[in-house]
C-alpha cells in the first residue's frame, strides 16, 4: 500500500491542477469487510447453477459462511440483488483470467457491458511480449519498456512483469490458446516498435481474439462462474470506516431486461478497460467509455497519469480507401504495430519516406514518436492520412502474417500485397488509470484493478508495444491471493444490500422528454469528442488545455441542466446518460493531469514545455478529496454509508 500511495521517490508529492499535495500513507490493506456471500441459485440469467467440487479447506470456508448465506434470504425482495464471493467487472483478458483463478475458492460473477467477447482484448492484433527466446533477457525487456516509457516507469513493477510474463504466456498455451509457430516447431516470435529482440507471441494478426476465445471457453466450463452479459456497471457500492473506504460490490443496469441489478460481493475486481471514446477516432470498441476509471474516481480511489493517452500511429484511414465503408465505423480498424515490425515503411502521399527524418529507429521507434511524426507530416502537408507499405514483402508471407488486415482492406478495394495502406493516428490506450499497488490493490479496501483501467507503473509515459496483454495477465494473477485472503476474512451484515438507495430507471420519464434527452446526449458526446481531439490531442499547449477545461465545463453544465429540466433526477440511470457522465469524468481527469505536467514526456507533448525535465520525473496523482466538484458526473448516485 505504501507503494500505491507513495512508493518510489517522487511519488510522495502529487499534482492536482498544478498544485502539490502531500500524500498520506494509509494503514495496511488487511481488513474484515462487511461484504456478503453469494447465493448463486438466485442468478436467473447465468448458465451455471451448481458448484463444482471444492478442496477440504474451501469446503470449510463455505461451511463457515453458511449461516450468513441463510440469514441473507429474508433481506432479498426479488431477483434484483445477487450475492457472490467475487465480482469481476469486465470480460477482457484480465477479468477472465482472474475469474478462472478465484473461482477455485468461491463463487464469481462476471459483469460485462455487452457480449462477453466484446472487449479491447478481442481487438488486440499484435500479440503478447514475453522473454521466450534464449538470446533475449528479462533485463533487455525491462530496458526496452523503461526507454519507451520515457523513464517514468516504476522499475519494480517492470521487473515483476517482465520476469513473471513468460509463465503467464505458458499458462495460456496450456489452457488451449493457439499461437503461431515457425518451421522449426518453436513459437514464432515477432518484433514490434521499441523492442530490441523478437519477443512477440502472436496468432497471425488476431492474437487478442484467440486469447479471448480460449479464456471464454474455460469460463464456459467453470461451474463456479456466472456471466452476466449486457449489464452496465453504474457505480461502486462503498462505505467508510475510520477514514477508510470499503467496496462491497456494484450497481448495474441490465440493458436487456431494463432493470437495475445490485451485486454484493466480498471482493470486486475492476477490469473494465480504457476510455478511448473520449476521442472521435479510436481503435477501442464502443464499450470503452471510461466507466471503470470514472466509477473509481467517484468512489474516491486514487487516479494517476491520465495525461498519457496513447494514440496508435496506424489506424486504417477510411478516407484513403478506394471503396469507402457504407457507414461510419463505431471504432477505427487497427493496423497492427507488427506491420512495421515486419518491415512496413511509412510514406507521405508523395511517396517520400519520412520516419528517418524524425528518429534513427525510423519505423521501429516507439509509438509516441511515430504518432507525432505522422501528425507533423499531416499538418505540414495538409493531408488526411499517410501510407504504410508492406507490399515489398513476399505475398504469401503478408497474407500469412496479416490475414485479417488483408481481408478488411480487400473488402474496400485495396490489395495490401500490391498497394500501400492509408493510415492515421487514433486514440488507442490509456497508460494512466486507477492507481494500483503490486498486487492490483487500490486505495479502496476490497477493490482491485487489472488491465487498461489500472495504472500499475509499468507503462510510464508511453506503453511499449504488446506489453498491455502481458500486464493484464500478470496483474490478474497477482491480485488473486490477496483477493482470496480478503474473501476468507469477510464478515457481513446480511441486509447490507438494502442500505443504499436504489437507482431509478429513466423509463419513468415521459417518452417525448426521454427521446429529447437521448438525442441531446448523442450531440453532447460528439461535441466533447471534438473538443478533446482539437485541444487535448497528440500535440498540446497550455492555452489549448485551458480552453478545453473551460469548454468541457460549459458543455457539461448545459447538458446536465437539459437533463434535469426534462425530468431527470440525480438517481436516474439510462445507458446513454451514464456513459456520457463517465466520458465527462474521464475527459476532465485527462485535462487536469495534462495541465499539471509542465514538461514533454512520452505521450504528453506540450509546445510550452517541449523538453524533458528531470525534476518532473514523477507521476501525476489525483486525490479526489482535493477536487470540489458538484457535477453529476463527479458524484456517486448513492451516498457513502458509514460502516459499523
The two beta strands, 539-540 and 605-606, are parallel
Pick 5 or 328 by higher pLDDT: 328
Mean per-residue pLDDT for 16-26?
Answer: 32
Out of 82, 168, 262, 367, pick the active-site residue.
367
Return the C-alpha torsion angle 109, 110, 114, 118, nearest 10.
-160
Residue 194 confidence class, pLDDT cut points 50, 70, 90: confident
> 203-212, 274-283, 305-314, 615-624: which range is least confident on average?
203-212
pLDDT at 63: 32
Mean per-residue pLDDT for 310-330?
Answer: 93
Chain centre to alpha carbon of residue 568: 29
Mean per-residue pLDDT for 1-8?
Answer: 46
Residue 111: closest CA among 213, 275, 226 = 226
Q: Please identify which residue in the block is written with the cell numbers 456497471.
A: 233
Pick 40 or 350 by higher pLDDT: 350
pLDDT at 635: 87
Residue 4 confidence class, pLDDT cut points 50, 70, 90: low
Residue 43 confidence class, pLDDT cut points 50, 70, 90: very low
Residue 628 confidence class, pLDDT cut points 50, 70, 90: low
pLDDT at 527: 98
Mean per-residue pLDDT for 535-562?
Answer: 97
HSE-up of 487 (CA within 13 Å, CB side)?
Answer: 30
pLDDT at 101: 97
Instruction: Answer whether residue 270 shows pLDDT above 90.
Output: yes
Instruction: Answer whether residue 67 shows pLDDT above 80.
Output: no
Mean per-residue pLDDT for 584-603?
Answer: 97
pLDDT at 512: 86
Provide the percentage of residues in the chain whose pLDDT is more than 90. Answer: 70
pLDDT at 8: 34
| Contacts with 185 (C-beta within 8 Å, 6 or more apart), sequence order | none
pLDDT at 382: 95
Instruction: Answer whether residue 499 shows pLDDT above 80.
Output: yes
- Grid coordinates representing 235 are 457505480
Mean per-residue pLDDT for 569-598?
Answer: 96
Q: What is the pLDDT of residues 454-478, one digit of tens each?
A: 999 999 999 998 999 999 999 999 9
pLDDT at 185: 86
* 565 is known as an active-site residue: no
Q: Which long-range contacts (CB under 8 A, 24 or more apart) does 157-163 make?
A: 157/438, 157/456, 157/457, 157/458, 158/457, 158/458, 160/438, 160/474, 160/478, 161/456, 161/458, 161/467, 161/470, 161/471, 161/474, 161/475, 162/131, 162/138, 163/138
Q: What is the pLDDT of residues 395-416, one digit of tens each?
A: 999 999 899 999 999 999 999 9
Q: What is the pLDDT of residues 88-133, one digit of tens each?
A: 999 999 999 999 999 999 999 999 997 766 655 555 556 899 999 9
Q: Could you give the CA distance from residue 299 to residue 291 in angstroms, rounded to a whole number?
A: 12
Percent of residues in the chain assigned helix, strand, coil, to nearest 5: 40, 20, 40
Give CA separation, 635 vs 125, 172, 296, 546, in Å.
Answer: 36, 39, 11, 23
DSSP 586: H
Q: Taking all residues of the chain, what is their mean pLDDT, rounded to a whole number?
A: 85
Mean per-residue pLDDT for 498-524?
Answer: 90
pLDDT at 622: 93
Residue 222 confidence class, pLDDT cut points 50, 70, 90: very high
Q: What is the pLDDT of residues 354-375, one digit of tens each?
A: 999 999 999 988 888 999 999 9
Instruction: Answer whether residue 24 shows pLDDT above 80.
Output: no
Amino acid at each position: 500500500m505504501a507503494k500505491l500511495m507513495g512508493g518510489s521517490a517522487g511519488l510522495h508529492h502529487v499534482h492536482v491542477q498544478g498544485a502539490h499535495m502531500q500524500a498520506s500513507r494509509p494503514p495496511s490493506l488487511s481488513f474484515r469487510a462487511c461484504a456478503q456471500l453469494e447465493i448463486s441459485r438466485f442468478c436467473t440469467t447465468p448458465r451455471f447453477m451448481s458448484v463444482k467440487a471444492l478442496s477440504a479447506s474451501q469446503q470449510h470456508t463455505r461451511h463457515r459462511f453458511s449461516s450468513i448465506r441463510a440469514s441473507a434470504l429474508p433481506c432479498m425482495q426479488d431477483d434484483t440483488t445477487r450475492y457472490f464471493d467475487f465480482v469481476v467487472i469486465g470480460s477482457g483478458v484480465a477479468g477472465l483470467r482472474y475469474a478462472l483463478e478465484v473461482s477455485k475458492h468461491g463463487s464469481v460473477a462476471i459483469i460485462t457491458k455487452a457480449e462477453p467477447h466484446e472487449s479491447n482484448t478481442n481487438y488486440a492484433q499484435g500479440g503478447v511480449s514475453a522473454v521466450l527466446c534464449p538470446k533475449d533477457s528479462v533485463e533487455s525487456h525491462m530496458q526496452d519498456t523503461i526507454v519507451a516509457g520515457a523513464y517514468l516507469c516504476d522499475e519494480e513493477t517492470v521487473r515483476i512483469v517482465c520476469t513473471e510474463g513468460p509463465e503467464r504466456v505458458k499458462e495460456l498455451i496450456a489452457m488451449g490458446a493457439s499461437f503461431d509457430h515457425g518451421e522449426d516447431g518453436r513459437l514464432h516470435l515477432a518484433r514490434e516498435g521499441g523492442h530490441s529482440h523478437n519477443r512477440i507471441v502472436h496468432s497471425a494478426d488476431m492474437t487478442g481474439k484467440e486469447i479471448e476465445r480460449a479464456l471464454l471457453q474455460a469460463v464456459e466450463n467453470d461451474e463456479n462462474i456466472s456471466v452476466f452479459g449486457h449489464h452496465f456497471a453504474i457505480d461502486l457500492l462503498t462505505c467508510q470506516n475510520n477514514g477508510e473506504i470499503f467496496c462491497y460490490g456494484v450497481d448495474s443496469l441490465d440493458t436487456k431486461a431494463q432493470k437495475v441489478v445490485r451485486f454484493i460481493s466480498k471482493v470486486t475486481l475492476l477490469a473494465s478497460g480504457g476510455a478511448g471514446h473520449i476521442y472521435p477516432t479510436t481503435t477501442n470498441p464502443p464499450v470503452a467509455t471510461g466507466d471503470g476509471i470514472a466509477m473509481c474516481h467517484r468512489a474516491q480511489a486514487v487516479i494517476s497519469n491520465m495525461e498519457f493517452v496513447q494514440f496508435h500511429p496506424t489506424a486504417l484511414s477510411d478516407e484513403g480507401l478506394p471503396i469507402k465503408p457504407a457507414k461510419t465505423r463505431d471504432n477505427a480498424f487497427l493496423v497492427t504495430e507488427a506491420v512495421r515490425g515486419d518491415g512496413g515503411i511509412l510514406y507521405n502521399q508523395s511517396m517520400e519516406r519520412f520516419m528517418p527524418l524524425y528518429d534513427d529507429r525510423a519505423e521501429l521507434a516507439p509509438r509516441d514518436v511515430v504518432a507525432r511524426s505522422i501528425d507533423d507530416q499531416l499538418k505540414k502537408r495538409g493531408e488526411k492520412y499517410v501510407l504504410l507499405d508492406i507490399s515489398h514483402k513476399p505475398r504469401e508471407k503478408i497474407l500469412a502474417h496479416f490475414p485479417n488486415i488483408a481481408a478488411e482492406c480487400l473488402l474496400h478495394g485495396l490489395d495490401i500485397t500490391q498497394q500501400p495502406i492509408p493510415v492515421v493516428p487514433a486514440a488507442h490506450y490509456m497508460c494512466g488509470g486507477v492507481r494500483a499497488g503490486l498486487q492490483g490493490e487500490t486505495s479502496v479496501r476490497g477493490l482491485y484493478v487489472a488491465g487498461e483501467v489500472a495504472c500499475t507503473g509499468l507503462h510510464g509515459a508511453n506503453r511499449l508495444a504488446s506489453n498491455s496483454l502481458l500486464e493484464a495477465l500478470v496483474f490478474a494473477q497477482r491480485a488473486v491471493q490477496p483477493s482470496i485472503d480478503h474473501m476468507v476474512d469477510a464478515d457481513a451484515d446480511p441486509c447490507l444490500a438494502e442500505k443504499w438507495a436504489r437507482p431509478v430507471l429513466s423509463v419513468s420519464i415521459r417518452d417525448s422528454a426521454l427521446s429529447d434527452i437521448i438525442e441531446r446526449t448523442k450531440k453532447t458526446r460528439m461535441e466533447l469528442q471534438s473538443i478533446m481531439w482539437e485541444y487535448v490531442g497528440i500535440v498540446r499547449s497550455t492555452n489549448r488545455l485551458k480552453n478545453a477545461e473551460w469548454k468541457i465545463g460549459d458543455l457539461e453544465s448545459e447538458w446536465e441542466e437539459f437533463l434535469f429540466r426534462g425530468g431527470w433526477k440525480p438517481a436516474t440511470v439510462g445507458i446513454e446518460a451514464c456513459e456520457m457522465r463517465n466520458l465527462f469524468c474521464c475527459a476532465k481527469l485527462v485535462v487536469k493531469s495534462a495541465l499539471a505536467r509542465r514538461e514533454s514526456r512520452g505521450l504528453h507533448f506540450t509546445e510550452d514545455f517541449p523538453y524533458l525535465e528531470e525534476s518532473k520525473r514523477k507521476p501525476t496523482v489525483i486525490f479526489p478529496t482535493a477536487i470540489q466538484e458538484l457535477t453529476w458526473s463527479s458524484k456517486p448516485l448513492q451516498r457513502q454509508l458509514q460502516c459499523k
